[in-house]
Amino acid sequence: MKPDCLGYSNKRNKLSLKLLEERKKLSITQKEMAERLNLSYSIYSAFERGQYKANLMILSRVSKYLKISMKEDEELYLIV
């Protein structure tokens, strides 16, 4: 596993778990979700597995697409 200082992580975080859950609800593949978020498949896949920490650009795209808000601690809450 690559060092955390490069943005890599060795476990799923709340955000990656939420993203996986929402993708499954939509019944789409990681590749389809990556396309909808305008990300490469490899970046999206690593992000969902918790192997890469999302930057502000990715968080913004996820938030807009899934209609969720974000907190700095990477917890996601559905917008009601």
Task: List, in order, residues 6 or more apart from 59 with CB less than 8 Å away.
Answer: 15, 70, 74
| DSSP SS3 for 37 | coil
Q: Domain coordinates of the chain in residue numbers?
A: 4-78
Q: What string of pLDDT tens digits covers the 80 residues of the chain?
A: 444 444 444 467 777 888 899 899 999 999 999 999 999 999 999 988 888 877 788 888 888 888 877 664 445 444 43
Q: How far is CA 58 from CA 25, 64, in A?
A: 20, 10
Neighbours of 66 (CB within 10 A): 20
- Specify the fold of 4-78: 434 Repressor (Amino-terminal Domain) (1.10.260)
